[in-house]
Every structure is written in structure tokens, then in C-alpha cells.
Amino acid sequence: MIYERYISGGRVALLEKMAEQLSSKRFTHCLGVEKASIELAERYGVDKEQAGLAGLLHDYTKELPDQEFLDLIERYQLDSQLKQWNNNVWHGLVGIYKIQEDLGLTDTAILRAIEIHTVGSADMSDLDKVVYVADYIECGRDFPGVEKARELAYQSLNRAVAYETASTISHLIRQGLAVYPQTLATYNAYVNYL
């Protein structure tokens, strides 16, 4: 993968930039999601360049300070409700504005997959699903249920989306954390595939 049609400097320049702004653990995770996205793209007939780049970039803003997200929400006049959330929700939904500013990425399909990689959506493209699932199953992930998620990802993208969303919501509820409404919409749209 070269990514030169999408970002100037291509993959090499991007890796250098990402290594500067991310912890090594997060950087390694991004490489893992890139690889898993390409594998799922191959299996499900999705464009591998788009999947690889979306996977690589998905957590680009994961270590951005909160104030920068709040500034982006203001500057792009995004839904002001977003201010009540946190990095978990912002690094996807708001992160894409920073990615556009920093990298000049304009491909709307790639940006959309990055935008919803945490919360999903009731209407996901195959590219969106590939990145959403790859983030959950990349080879560095190790948590109860990851093997099951990997098995499902191999069988059916929709079942994998359903399983991941249900598990995430259960986890949030067990921890007493708020569930972003779009995450519930994703659950409702895919639960029948479980």
C-alpha cells in the first residue's frame, strides 16, 4: 500500500508523522488495524487502499488534548452536544476534521470510516464495517471475546459488527459509563444478525 493518491508523501511520510504524535503502543495498534483492514477488505471485496489507509489513520487523533477537540467542535460548528462527551467519542467523530487539516485527506469514504470507527452507524458501508471490525480484532488485541469476534469476522461482517457493538455496550453498562446514542442506533440496526 502506498496511499499516494490520497495523501501527499504517501505511507512513508504518514508513518513518520504518526510515530511522532502517538505512543509506540498506539502506533503499533494502528499498524495492526491497517493490516486487519486490508485482510478483511480482501475477504469482502472492499478497496484495499481505502481500507488500509482508513485502518492506519483511524486513531490518528487519539492522543490529541481535549481542548483541541473542543476548539474543533467550535470551529466547524459541530453539534454542541458533542462537548459533553470525551476523547473516546471525539477521536472519531471530531478527529476527521483534524485529519483533513493535517493531511489534506479528502476521500469521503475513508473519512466516513474513520469518523464512525468507535460508535458505528445504523447504515454502514462495507468499508465502514471493515474498519470498525478490524479495530476490534487486530492481532494486538487481547480481551475476553476477541477470539469469538475474530471467528465471526471471518464468517460475516454484519455478525461481527453486531457482536462487537453488543459487547461494547455491555462493557460500558457494566462500567457505569454513558452510551453514545449513535452506538445504540448501531446496535439496533445490526442486532438481528447475531
- Give contact residues for ligand GDP (rule: CB under 6 A): 59, 62, 88-89, 117-119, 135, 168, 171-172, 177-180, 183
Q: In whole angstroms, what is the distance from residue 50 CA to residue 6 CA?
A: 9
HEC string for 54-94: HHHHCCCCCCCCHHHHHHHHHHCCCCHHHHHCCHHHHHHHC
Write down the least CB distance from residue 140 to Fe ion, Å. Answer: 10
Q: In whole angstroms, what is the distance from residue 41 CA to residue 34 CA?
A: 10
Q: Would you say 4 or 66 has its CB closer to ligand GDP?
A: 66
Residue 183's binding partner, choosing from Fe ion, ligand GDP, none, with beta-carbon cut-off 5 to 8 A by kind? ligand GDP
Write down the least CB distance from residue 75 to Fe ion, Å. Answer: 22
User: What element of type H or E holds 152?
Assistant: helix 146-155
Q: In whole angstroms, what is the distance from residue 56 CA to residue 41 CA?
A: 13
Residue 122's binding partner, choosing from Fe ion, ligand GDP, none, with beta-carbon cut-off 5 to 8 A by kind? none
- Interface positions with Fe ion (CB under 5 A): 59, 135
Residue 21's binding partner, choosing from ligand GDP, Fe ion, none, with beta-carbon cut-off 5 to 8 A by kind? none
Write down the least CB distance from residue 91 to ligand GDP, Å. Answer: 6
Q: Would you say 5 or 148 has its CB closer to ligand GDP?
A: 148
Q: In whole angstroms, what is the distance from residue 101 CA to residue 92 CA?
A: 15
Residue 177's binding partner, choosing from ligand GDP, Fe ion, none, with beta-carbon cut-off 5 to 8 A by kind? ligand GDP
Q: In whole angstroms, what is the distance from residue 24 CA to residue 19 CA?
A: 7
Residue 172's binding partner, choosing from Fe ion, ligand GDP, none, with beta-carbon cut-off 5 to 8 A by kind? ligand GDP
